[in-house]
Amino acid sequence: MSDPFIIGLTGSIGMGKSTTAKMFAQEGVPIWDADAAVHRIYAPVGAAVEPMRAICPDAIVDGGVDRTVLKDWIAQDESALKQIEAVVHPLVAQDRARFLQETAAPIVLLDIPLLFETGTHEQVDLVAVVSTSAQLQRERVLARGTMTEDQFDVILAKQMPDSEKCARADVVIPTDTLDAAQAAVKQVVADVKERLSHA
């Protein structure tokens, strides 16, 4: 069995990455979702529970890792994020490796918000970045009602700028409209299938 062709999907907050990932799934491409992997390892009996208990015992609530406690710890202690990442990143990488080992699909998609920031873009065959205008991005995030403009600006400041992600992408998927995104996704899948048929 040959290794699957790996598409890495990324994009800043509010760019439509989750919606676009679902479109790839509709095209028959299995998805590995980094955020879902974190939820798995944080759940009760998840792989992160005991190592996290060792560095932040207060974060273990009802047998699982409580993200709110971690957020408070990060806000108070500037070494916290590094300690958390040292636990989480290797476990997430193991989860991803298991997914890639177990799949029989010719094409898979890794949905990773921090694809460039974690260096994972070097492990994929094609990088796809979802993008839309800054105005539409802001409108979408604030419409969710889960954060204030200030919180959004803080997250935005921490993320790699959209322009830089687009410059480093193999493919940019416009998400201004669902139709535009869907057409781009179909094209990416068709191009990859074409490439594989000649391999």
Assess whether 123 and 189 both reside in one domain: yes
The secondary structure of the chain in percent helix, strand, coil, rounded to multiples of 5, reads 55, 15, 30
Q: What are phi and psi of 130, to 5 degrees?
A: -90, 140
Assess whether 73 and 137 both reside in one domain: no
Given 74, 93, 112, which residue is the final one in a domain?
A: 93
Assess whether 51 and 140 both reside in one domain: no
Assess whether 124 and 87 both reside in one domain: no
Q: What integer pLDDT is reported at residue 147 of this predicted model?
A: 87
Assess whether 134 and 187 both reside in one domain: yes
Residue 113 lies in a domain: yes
Residue 199 lies in a domain: no
174: Cβ–Cβ under 8 A, 6 or more apart, which residues?
131, 132, 180, 181, 184
Segment 21-52, tens digit of pLDDT? 999 999 999 999 999 999 999 999 999 999 99
Output the domain CATH number for residue 178: 3.40.50.300
Segment 119-135, tens digit of pLDDT? 999 999 999 999 999 99
Report how far residue 126's alpha carbon sits from residue 163's, in angstroms, rounded to the nearest whole number: 18
Q: What angle do CA 94, 32, 125 make, to 5 degrees?
A: 90
Residue 98 lies in a domain: no
Candidates 7, 2, 10, 3; CA nearest to 131 is 10
Residue 163 lies in a domain: yes
Q: Is the pLDDT of residue 1 over 60?
A: no
Q: Which residues pair with 173 in a beta bridge?
A: 130
Q: Is the pLDDT of residue 173 over 90?
A: yes
Given 93, 123, 138, which residue is the final one in a domain?
A: 93
Q: What integer pLDDT is reported at residue 154 of this predicted model?
A: 84
Segment 72-104, tens digit of pLDDT? 998 899 899 999 999 999 999 999 999 999 999
Assess whether 116 and 65 both reside in one domain: no
Segment 6-19, tens digit of pLDDT? 999 999 999 999 99
Is 9 in contact with 21 (CB distance < 8 Å)? yes
Residue 61 lies in a domain: yes
Total count of domains within the chain: 2
**Local structure of 191: helix, strand or coil:** helix
Given 93, 117, 140, which residue is the final one in a domain?
A: 93
Assess whether 25 and 39 both reside in one domain: no
Q: What are phi and psi of 74, to 5 degrees?
A: -60, -40
Domain interval for residue 78: 35-93
Segment 128-172, tens digit of pLDDT? 999 999 999 999 999 998 889 998 888 888 889 999 999 999 999
Residue 64 lies in a domain: yes
| Buried b / exposed e along 144-170 (16+ C-beta atoms within 10 A) | eeeeeeeebeeebeebeebeebeeebe
Considering only the C-alpha atoms of the chain, give the largest distance between any 2 of them, rounded to a whole number of Å. Answer: 54
